[in-house]
Amino acid sequence: MDQAAAAPTLKWYQGIERYCWVVLTVAALGWLFDTMDQNLYNLIRQASLEDLLKPHDGALTLQEKNDLSARAKEIGGTINATFLIGWAIGGFIFGILGDRIGRTKTMISTILIYAVFTGLSGLAHTWQVYALARFLTGLGVGGEWAAGASLVAETFPPRSRPMALGFLQALSAIGNMLAAVVTMGIGGDLRWRWVYFVGIVPAFLVVWIQTGIKEPEKWLQAKERASLGKEMGSIAQIFGHPILRRNTIAGILMAIAGQATLWGIAFFSTDFVRENLLGSGVTPSAASSLKNWMFFVQNFGSFIGIYVFAVLAEKFNRRRAFLGSFAASWVSVLAFFWGVSSAGPSAPVAALVLAFVMGFCTLMPFSGYTMYFPELYPTRLRATGCGFLYNAARIFAAAAPIALGKLSAWVTKSYGSPQKAFPIAATIVSFIYILGFVGTWMAPETKGKPLPEDKDFEMGPAVSTAPAPQQT
């Protein structure tokens, strides 16, 4: 039986060249360490800011503690937003560079940037310098994903591409869990600066990338065609054709929904649980330990949810998987914050169970972004398009953590109820999921189709041959 006849009977992971696995491993490690460096901040945000903002070295009165907590929440939301804006800018810049100078060179640059500035975050002595370090970390974080996703998409054969990209995104949850392990191992609340110094480790991955990974053949061919007038890496061109413009707008709306909720609500679960436990009389060390375990469990759920999305998207289609994941995510966020706040003495158990569910649901759409966004653009615009969608959304999503921080601080100050502050704020911010439903309604179905090229869009005034959106 020849290879063409045998291919339909193979599993996605069978019959794959060794080099494809090397590419997936390198891209996955780059993204895994990327997410680890992102989430070190989420785990030590409140404690590190309270340390930086503490008015004096002596014991604080109850009122001073409440004021410090509220101030740290508000500034924590601002720094989150600053990080997301840096992430977006990095996505724009390095998305274009990924198409112009290559996937591999771009991935090397971005890993170095996010690793170095994560380490430098541990040297901050004012919250303003802290915010600057997080902004610069975001520049590297924002560029790495588009380069890695494009590299994997263009290296794997079409039959294996969706699941390989789903696996790539699933390993991001391992990075999140690794952040919890690092924080627990070092004792993050008290030694938060050392937590950041560990974030320099990913820089050593660059040596492997430089020696083992070459640019994909699809990119080299597109680069050659670019010399004939086909521009590489143009943001203007992802809006220039009606089909590409629709894909871009739909993708941004879908990305805003997932990212605003994850970074504006779900990743504040650690601060919320820590505050609830301290308010119920749990010692600071015990609260810190449970918070870290809860984040680990939350991201274990994420790992499973991300992979389940890839399976559902292949079994049914992309759009149905997105609609289901957005609905489940919305319910899970409300269930977590209201469930834990009303659990009383059972709050630790409720936090662990509901964190798993929330992690499973809120990270599902991110598997879709990694699988689906490369399927919307031709090769010469793929990294630009992926980077733009994934990161333009962060500019809009940056408002979510600011809103959550200010709303929760206002509820705490006005009503003296920190336990209800996060649930009320999270409920209001979670309505952002409506944008996800709108974007999915606009988006085309791409299941079973090859990666598009210029001929599918006929770059210019001609009518595109790309498929129109299908009804789910």
135 lies in some domain: yes
358 lies in some domain: yes
452 lies in some domain: yes
Task: Name the DSSP class of 113.
Answer: H
Q: What is the pLDDT of residue 35?
A: 84
Question: Is 301:360 a contact under the CB 8 Å cutoff?
Answer: yes
Cα–Cα dist 305/358, whole Å? 10
Question: Is 407:425 a contact under the CB 8 Å cutoff?
Answer: yes
464 lies in some domain: no
185 lies in some domain: yes
Cβ-based neighbour number of residue 284 at 10 Å:
13
Strand locations in 341-414 (E): none
Q: What is the pLDDT of residue 442?
A: 94
231 lies in some domain: yes
Question: Is 444:367 a contact under the CB 8 Å cutoff?
Answer: no
Question: Is 258:369 a contact under the CB 8 Å cutoff?
Answer: yes
Cα–Cα dist 368/387, whole Å? 14
Q: What is the pLDDT of residue 450?
A: 84
Q: For the chain, which residues score pLDDT lower than 70?
A: 1-8, 187-190, 226-233, 412-419, 458-472
Name, in order, each residue with C-beta under 8 angstroms of 244's C-beta and a sequence gap of 6 or more. 237, 238, 376, 377, 381, 385, 457
CATH number at residue 411: 1.20.1250.20
Q: Determine the structural domain holding residue 109 and report its residue range.
A: 16-457
Q: What is the pLDDT of residue 4?
A: 44
As for how many domains the chain has, the answer is: 1
234 lies in some domain: yes
Pick from 208, 195, 290, 269: which is nearest to 29 by CA?
208
354 lies in some domain: yes
